[in-house]
């Protein structure tokens, strides 16, 4: 039996082509596009769906529900696709997640009202949650040696590349319905993943070693890492999605009345994406150099300072905002790449997708709920910038949690 399992373990090392990494990158990329495309078009899409007579408060409240629905869907998708990937395999789960994301995006182009829009954003979020989780776990298992953190950091850059694509779509297409036809591409990618990707040997080994026993997510061995991973990632999400969901609206609020802001919002999303790309690439090298814990400590301090500068020093729009957004997105990109390397290593292969999905997505329950309160905070605090400052304080929680957490112990089941 041991000889047979070793032979299985060696197979993907030989068969794994760069095309496998490329398909995961493309799927991850469209996770970024699916996540931010509607946020960019909200200022024009909601008045069309609600009616031109809709008040600013009604648009803001509806926008909060649209953003929250996506995050709730993302959370549910992460919870569902983690156990699914542990049961049916990484590749088949990734096919389902990518197809769901693309199909829901394509259907968004034809929504008749805000209620259908909210439902489709939830389904899109579920697909994105599955893509980001399963592709991260898959590559952490099939990629060998010390280059793994770099590969996962580069994978994380695909998400901001998708955000850059969002900015390009927003700048090039004033018709938001036409832009959502881009969902055809992830549908095609899902088909290619199913046809071309080899299954993870670590998943096969874990499946054989379980022998019908269901791993316990909250066993004494797993519980501390589940709690710390959930707290750190959840806090980061609250800050990140409070900013990503409402930054275009914040930019619009700084512009003179009557100015469309299409160009400014498009450039802003591209800057978020480009900074994230550089940060994601840098994260892999930083993790190799100083380890995930010190990388994350550095990153969270940078996020706190960049948010304070951006949201406290600007009351009207000026070009300096572009450079400040770029700095913030750099730190956000480092955080996402570092967490992609950090969290999966906390768990054994037999439970890795389930546990990583739990850590990645339990925070989205609180994040989606918190995003609903941006509108109320805006009224209470006298501006959306002040509300976003409150959300960025979540990075203080992440900083404290990672400060109290030691370097992770490497688990078995991943190729070295």
CB 216 within 8 A of CB 358: no
Q: Cα angle at 301 between 295 and 305, to 5 degrees?
A: 145
- Give the residue among 191, 10, 42 at the shortest CA–CA distance from 121: 42
pLDDT recorded at residue 194: 93
- Give the residue among 266, 236, 274, 260 at the shortest CA–CA distance from 248: 266
CA distance 411 to 416: 11
Q: How many angstroms separate the first and last alpha carbons of the chain?
A: 21
- Give the residue among 359, 355, 310 at the shortest CA–CA distance from 332: 310
**Could you identify the residue written with the tokens 């992770």?**
408
pLDDT recorded at residue 368: 66
CB 152 within 8 A of CB 337: yes
Residue 407 burial by Cβ neighbours in a 10 Å radius (0-12, 13-18, 19+): exposed
pLDDT recorded at residue 221: 81
CB 401 within 8 A of CB 228: yes
Helix orientation angle between 114-142 and 320-342, rounded to the nearest 10 degrees = 50
What tokens appear for 5 in the block?
A: 């399992």
pLDDT recorded at residue 126: 96
- pLDDT in single tens digits along all 416 residues of the chain: 333 333 333 433 334 457 778 999 999 999 999 998 998 898 889 989 988 777 878 887 888 889 889 988 988 998 899 899 988 999 999 999 999 999 999 999 999 999 999 999 999 999 999 999 999 989 888 877 677 788 888 888 888 788 888 888 888 888 999 999 999 999 999 999 999 998 888 887 766 665 556 667 888 888 888 888 888 888 888 888 777 777 887 888 888 887 878 788 878 878 877 887 888 889 888 988 888 889 999 999 999 999 999 988 888 888 899 999 999 999 988 998 888 778 877 887 778 888 888 887 776 677 666 666 666 666 677 677 777 888 788 899 999 988 887 655 545 444 44
CB 272 within 8 A of CB 160: yes
Instruction: Count Cα neighbours of 270 within 13 Å in the Cβ-side half-sphere.
Output: 13
CA distance 59 to 57: 5
CA distance 12 to 203: 11
CB 238 within 8 A of CB 369: no
Q: State phi, psi for 201 to the nearest 5 degrees.
A: -65, -35
How many other C-beta atoms lie within 10 A of the C-beta of residue 78?
Answer: 29
């Amino acid at each position: 039996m041991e000889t047979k399992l070793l032979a299985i373990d060696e197979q993907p090392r030989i068969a794994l082509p760069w095309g496998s990494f490329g398909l995961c990158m493309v799927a991850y990329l469209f996770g970024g596009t699916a996540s931010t495309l509607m946020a960019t078009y909200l200022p024009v899409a909601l008045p069309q769906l609600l009616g031109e007579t809709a008040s600013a408060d009604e648009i803001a409240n509806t926008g909060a529900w649209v953003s929250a629905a996506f995050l709730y869907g993302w959370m549910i998708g992460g919870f569902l696709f983690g156990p699914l990937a542990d049961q049916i395999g990484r590749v088949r789960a990734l096919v389902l997640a990518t197809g769901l994301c693309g199909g829901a995006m394509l259907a968004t182009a034809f929504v008749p009202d805000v209620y259908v829009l909210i439902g489709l954003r939830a389904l899109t979020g579920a697909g994105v949650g599955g893509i980001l989780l399963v592709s991260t776990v898959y590559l952490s298992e099939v990629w060998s040696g010390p280059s793994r953190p770099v590969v996962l950091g580069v994978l994380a850059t695909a998400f901001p590349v998708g955000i850059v694509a969002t900015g390009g779509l927003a700048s090039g297409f004033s018709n938001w319905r036409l832009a959502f036809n881009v969902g055809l591409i992830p549908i095609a990618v899902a088909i290619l993943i199913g046809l071309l990707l080899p299954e993870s040997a670590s998943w096969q080994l874990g499946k054989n070693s379980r022998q019908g026993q269901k791993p316990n997510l909250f066993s004494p061995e797993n519980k501390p890492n589940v709690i710390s991973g959930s707290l750190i990632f959840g806090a980061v999400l609250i800050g990140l999605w409070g900013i990503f969901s409402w930054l275009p609206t914040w930019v619009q609020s700084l512009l003179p009345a009557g100015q469309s802001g299409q160009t400014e919002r498009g450039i802003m999303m591209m800057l978020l994406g480009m900074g994230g790309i550089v940060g994601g690439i840098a994260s892999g090298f930083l993790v190799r150099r100083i380890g995930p814990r010190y990388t994350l400590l550095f990153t969270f301090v940078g996020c706190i300072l960049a948010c304070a500068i951006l949201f406290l020093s600007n009351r009207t729009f000026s070009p300096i905002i572009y450079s400040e957004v770029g700095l913030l997105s750099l730190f956000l990109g480092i955080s996402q790449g570092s967490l992609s390397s950090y969290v999966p290593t906390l768990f054994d292969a037999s439970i890795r997708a389930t546990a990583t999905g739990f850590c990645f997505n339990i925070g989205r329950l609180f994040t989606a709920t918190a995003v609903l309160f941006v509108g109320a905070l805006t009224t209470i605090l006298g501006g959306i910038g002040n509300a976003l400052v409150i959300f960025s304080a979540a990075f203080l929680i992440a900083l404290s949690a990672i400060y109290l957490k030691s370097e992770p112990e490497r688990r078995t089941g991943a190729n070295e």
